[in-house]
Amino acid sequence: GWPGSGGTRGGAAMDLFGDLRRMNKRQLYYQVLNFAMIVSSALMIWKGLIVVTGSESPIVVVLSGSMEPAFHRGDLLFLTNFHDDPIRAGEIVVFKVEGRDIPIVHRVIKVHEKGNGNIKFLTKGDNNEVDDRGLYKEGQNWLEKKDVVGRARGFLPYVGMVTIIMNDYPKFKYALLAVMGAYVLLKRES
């Protein structure tokens, strides 16, 4: 190899620590504050979306293939959950089942409306052979409005793949967070 080519990686690391040492405390505080601003802005946007859409989780990622070909793993769904909207057969809803942490995205296949306005309905994944009764809690045959987190109003294909990769490979998540943290702290003000 060329003279001096072996020491580049070590040199880069030393430069980085030199940079960190040279960066004065004020600059560091500024970057930490900057990071806090980004995080709080994201939280405010999220809270705003919750208020505007009426859904406790306005954006969800499709995690399974049970709704293909309508939605694929990694699609990002935008939800609304206005209580006045009637639930209709054929609609795609996101619902929570007792005992399961992750909400399920499936299509409504049957709706029973009672005289007093109460609604019960049954869901199924487009790609599944059977309806969702096996997924509901024991003894539950129908979903009610209170089980619904939201209804799919639009989607972006595959944008949520990052979420799925982070779920499937936790190490990737920590690597990504480390890179983002380092970027924010070391970013020079141009």
In a domain, 9, yes or no: no
| Residue 5 pLDDT exceeds 60 | no
Looking only at Cα atoms, what is the longest distance across the chain?
Answer: 87
| Any domain includes 6 | no
The verdict on whether 132 is a catalytic residue reads yes
- Is the residue at 135 inside a domain? yes
Domain check: are 81 and 153 in the same one? yes
Please identify which residue in the block is written with the tokens 């909207």.
Answer: 85
Residues 73 and 151 in one domain: yes
Which of these is catalytic: 132, 147, 168, 190?
132
**Rounded CA separation 103/78 (Å):** 14
- 3-state SS, residue 32: helix
Catalytic status, residue 66: yes
Domain assignment present for 5: no
Q: Does the global pTM surpass 0.85?
A: no
> Do 64 and 119 sit in the same domain of this protein?
yes
Q: Is the pLDDT of residue 150 over 80?
A: yes
State whether 142 and 169 are in the same domain: no
Alpha-carbon separation of residue 129 from 42, 95, 124, 133 (angstroms): 39, 19, 9, 12
pLDDT at 130: 94
* CATH (domain of 153): 2.10.109.10
Same-domain check for residues 167 and 93: no
Residue 114 lies in a domain: yes
Q: What is the mean pLDDT of the chain?
A: 85
**Catalytic (active site) residue 168:** no
Selected residue with higher pLDDT from 124 and 10: 124
Choosing from 106, 112, 168, 190, the catalytic residue is 106
Do 168 and 121 lie in one domain? The reply is no
**168 and 117: one domain?**
no
Residue 90 lies in a domain: yes
| pLDDT single digits (tens) 40-76 | 999 999 999 999 999 888 989 998 899 999 999 999 9
The structural domain count of the chain equals 3
Tell me the average pLDDT across 88-104.
90
Q: Which of 55, 66, 75, 147 is catalytic?
A: 66
Domain coverage including residue 46: 18-53
The reply to whether 105 and 170 lie within a common domain is no
Q: Are residues 139 and 97 in the same domain?
A: yes
Asked whether the beta carbons of 52 and 150 are under 8 A apart, the reply is no
Checking if the pLDDT of 2 tops 60, the result is no
Average pLDDT for residues 31-48, to the nearest whole number?
Answer: 91
